[in-house]
Amino acid sequence: MSITENRAELNQTPFLPVESFAVSTVWINTKANQIWAGGKDGLLIANYKNLYDYNSKFKTSLRVVKTINSDSLLSITSTEPHLINYSDNSILFDFSIPAYPATGEVEYRYYLSGFDKDTSAWTNLAKKEYTNLSDGEYEFIVQAKNEFGKVAESTSFKFRILTPIYRQWWAIIIYVLLLVALVRTFFIWRLRASKKEKERLEELVKERTEEIEQSKKKIEEQRDIAYKHRKEILDSISYAQKFSKLFCHLLRLLKTFYLSISFFIVQETLLAVIFTG
C-alpha cells in the first residue's frame, strides 16, 4: 500500500520490486508468516515464506527452436544433435528464463559455435535467427542475466545441417562418372567426325587427282595434237622449200636451155646470112 497526496493505493502484485522506500517501523506477524514495514511512503506486507533467494542458481531455457523455411518445430529435450535438411538451413531460437519473482528486465547473450566468431553483447531481445547456414555441425549456446546482474547457467542446442544431395559423396562420384562418360562420348564423336572428315578429304583428294589426271591427259593430247600440227606445218614448210629449190633449179635449167637455143638460133641465122651473102 502506497500513500500519495493523502490517497492510499493498494497494490497486491506479488513480489513487486521497490526502488525506494523509507521504513519507519517493522512488525512481524508470525501467525500469518508476514513482515509489515511501514513508513511515510506507505506500508509493505511480505510473506517471508515466499521470499525468493536471488542468489539461487537458475538456468536459461530454450522455449522454441524451429526451421524458418518449413516452419517446423524441433525438439528441445533431445540430447542428440538434430539432423536438419539443407533446405531448412535457416533456424529461429526463442529463449527465456524460468518464471520467478521480480523478473524485471532480462538480458541475453548467445553464441553459435561453427558460425559466430565471438559471443554476442548482452541484449534484451529474446530471439535470434540464423539464415542460410552452411552444412556442418553447430551448437547454439545462450545465457541470461536478470535485473540483479545474476548470470544464469547457459543452455545449448546441438544440430547438424546435412550436406545437400547434390554435394553428397555418391553424387560427386556420379558427377565424375558422368564427366568421364561425357568426355568419352566427346572423344568418340570427335574420332568419328575425324574419320568422316578424313574419308571426305581422301575422296576429295581422289577426285582432284582424277581431275588432274584428266587435265594432264587432255594436256598431253593437246600437246600431241600441237606436235602433230607443228610437224605438219614443218613438213609443209620443208616441202615448200624443196619445191622452191626445185622450181629455182628448173628456172635455171630453162634459162640455160633458153640461152642455148637462142644462141643456136642466132648462130644459125648468122651462118645463113653469111652463106647467102
- The torsion defined by the Cα of 94, 100, 105 and 106, in degrees rounded to 10, comes to -40
Give the pLDDT confidence score for residue 54 in this predicted structure: 59
* Cell numbers standing for residue 134: 552452411
User: Are 145 and 152 a contacting pair, CB within 8 Å?
Assistant: yes
* Amino acid type, 255: K
* pLDDT for position 268: 66
Query: Hey, which CATH number is domain 61-165, 1.10.8.60, 2.60.40.10, 3.50.50.60, 3.10.20.30?
Result: 2.60.40.10
Q: Report the chain's terminal Cα–Cα distance, integer Å.
A: 213
Cα three-residue angle 132-65-151, rounded to 5 degrees? 105
Strand order in the sheet with 2-4: 7-9, 2-4, 42-47, 34-39, 25-29
| Partners of 9 in the β-ladder | 2
Residues 94/62, Cβ–Cβ less than 8 Å: yes
Whole-number Å distance between alpha carbons of 62 and 174: 41
DSSP 164: P
The segment(s) of the chain belonging to CATH 2.60.40.10 are: 61-165
What is the rounded CA–CA span in Å between residue 84 and residue 263?
A: 149
Tens digit of pLDDT per residue, the chain (277 long)? 555 555 556 666 555 566 566 777 877 877 777 777 777 777 777 766 665 555 667 888 899 999 998 888 888 877 788 999 999 999 999 998 876 555 568 899 999 999 999 999 999 999 999 999 999 999 999 999 887 788 889 999 999 999 998 888 899 999 999 999 999 999 999 999 999 999 999 899 998 888 888 888 888 888 888 888 888 888 888 877 887 787 787 777 777 777 777 666 766 666 666 666 5
- Report how far residue 131's alpha carbon sits from residue 5's, in angstroms, rounded to the nearest whole number: 55
Q: Specify the 3-state DSSP secondary structure of 212.
A: helix
Residue 33 dihedral angles phi and psi, to the nearest 5°: 55, 45
Q: CB atoms < 10 A from the CB of 221, how many?
A: 10
> What's the chain's length in residues?
277
At 273, give phi and psi (nearest 5°).
-70, -40
